Structure 1
Amino acid sequence: MQFIDIIILSNAQNESLRKLTMDCLESLISSEDEDAIRFNILVIESANTSPYDFPNCRTLFPKMSFGYNKYMNLGIRKSSSPLVCLCNNDLLFQQGWASAILKAFEETPGLKSASPYCRLNHPARNIPSHSGIKFGYGVRDEISGWCILFKREILKTTGPLDERLTFWYSDNDYAKTLEKYGILHALVTDSFVDHLESQTLAIRSKKERLMMTGGERYYFEYKWGTRSYFSFLNHKRKQFFKSL
């Protein structure tokens, strides 16, 4: 029996978004034989709604302000399985997705992080399905930021996710961190999880989307050495005065 902690972020502000999370959970639970793989599911819910009543599923309602990495770190702390999967809620899990990744871990020495193949995204990036294991750190190529399964042991090397990134560039930072420490990651093209693309983000205002997307770039570029500290501070100063 393999145990996998599944951490899903949700913001079910309306019935449509709640259904999105429900569909995600239903597809996940039916995707594997529970006698072989047991999912410990933790939904981190931002909206004031009811818990999700599914087998092996807990719902947390954080009192702290939203942050993608902050909420994911909370889920990581509240779970303990040797395998961890970080997920958006706008996903549809296909039969045998986890089995395919576990097989890749078993057959590939040193592989400690992997993403599944998205039939909506990867064909457009000229990556065919059933084309083997693709090693690398390319965001939206090898690293599908909407679904990443890794061995918990890597956190002993990398530390927790960087909570200064509140939404955008979280996957880029994950990729850079793995590359920095030489932790092997791959896209498993026999594992299928389809991403429905930023359904929750679409309900936010234009200002909120800009803050959660473009605003993250300055810190990310400063952290990884492509932007000066002065430029980063200048951006923070402009943000401060805009908020007044």
Structure 2
Amino acid sequence: MVDMIILSYAQNEELKLMTENCIHSLVASEDPEHIQFNIIVIESEKGIAPYQYENTTTVYPDEIFGYHRYMNIGINMTSSPYVCLCNNDLIFHSLWATEILKAFSKYYDLSSASPYCSIHHKKMGFNMNNGIYPGYRIRYEVAGWCIFMKRDILLTTGKLDENYEFWCADNDYANTLYVLRIGHALISTSIVDHLESQTLNSQTQERQDELTSEEFFYYEKKWNLRLGTDWEKFS
């Protein structure tokens, strides 16, 4: 069983359909006799409550939005050995989870992974179906839109830092793994395509600024002391 936590903001029919397409591709991606998904959708659009996306448990938190805050809600609702943190602008390809679990089985020191995006990662110099790429660089080895982890790493890292409302959440996760020496890699045989910030781009410029500006100041203050200038490699 893999717990899938998907954040959604179905402000309109187009964004709702994007979440539905994400879920449909996920359900179709694996044989349920081999891998089952427990899908939790954390929906920010309260206006469609109590709507339940098919094959999911859909929840509408009372808490104000925060990327890590909402991910922690999903994590706290679940208990499987593996948990995957996802945006809703994803398309899952066949056997993507199988390939990550194979890598976890083969590399004993690997506890966190991201799948390969055929739209994005080729432009970053990674080849599909070319093994694993260990590392902690954002948008390179760490694809913040889809992070697959062994749940037990949370015993070491603690819960996700809820000071991040939206931006820099993946940077913080990468730095945490790096400092604690928890292995992470991009799995080039696991394909999940990212449609690039569809929900964020639908917001007004003012709202985008609210979601992104203050995060950088907190991030720099938190990690400058721990890593010195070394934190810049993950930005």
Normalised to the residue count of structure 2, the TM-score between the two structures is 0.93
RMSD of the alignment, in Å?
1.1
For the residue of structure 1 that corresponds to 2:32, the secondary structure is coil
Q: Max radius of gyration: which structure? A: 1
Which residue number in structure 2 is paired with residue 5 of structure 1? 3
Q: What does 1:231-242 correspond to in 2, within 5 Å?
A: none
> Equivalent residue for 1:191?
190
Alpha-carbon displacement from aligned partner over 1:138-168 (angstroms, at most 9, x marks no partner): 1111000000000000000000000001100
Amino acid corresponding to residue 75 of structure 1 in structure 2: G
Question: How big is the shift at 1:226?
Answer: 6.3
Asked if the contact 2:20–2:53 (Cα under 8 Å) also holds between the matched residues in 1, the reply is no
Unaligned runs of 5+ in 2: 227-235
Q: Which residue of 1 aligns with 2:114?
A: 115
Provide the residue aligned with 2:199 in structure 1.
Answer: 200
Percent of aligned pairs with the same residue? 50
Question: Structure 1, residues 74-98: CA drift from partner, whole Å, max 9, x if none?
Answer: 0000111010000000000000000
**Offset of residue 203 of structure 1:** 1.7
Q: How far apart in 1 are the matches of 2:212 and 2:118?
A: 24
Instruction: Report 1:171-190 matches (<5 A).
Output: 171-190=170-189
1:28-177 matches, cutoff 5 A:
28-47=26-45, 48-50=47-49, 51-55=51-55, 57-177=56-176
Report the secondary structure of 1:134's partner residue. strand
Mapped partners of 2:201, 2:92: distance in 1: 22
Assess if the C-alpha contact under 8 Å between 2:69 and 2:162 holds in 1: yes
Q: Residues 95 and 190 of structure 2 are in contact (CA less than 8 Å); yes or no, is this contact kept in structure 1?
A: yes
TM-score normalized with structure 1 length: 0.90
Kindly report structure 1 stretches of 4+ aligned residues shifted beyond 3 Å.
none
Letter in 2 for 1:15: E
Partner of 1:84, secondary structure, is: strand
**What is the aligned partner in structure 2 of residue 235 from structure 1?**
none
Residues 154-212 of structure 1 deviation map (CA, whole Å, 9 limit, x = unaligned): 00000000000110000000000000100000000000000001111112111111121
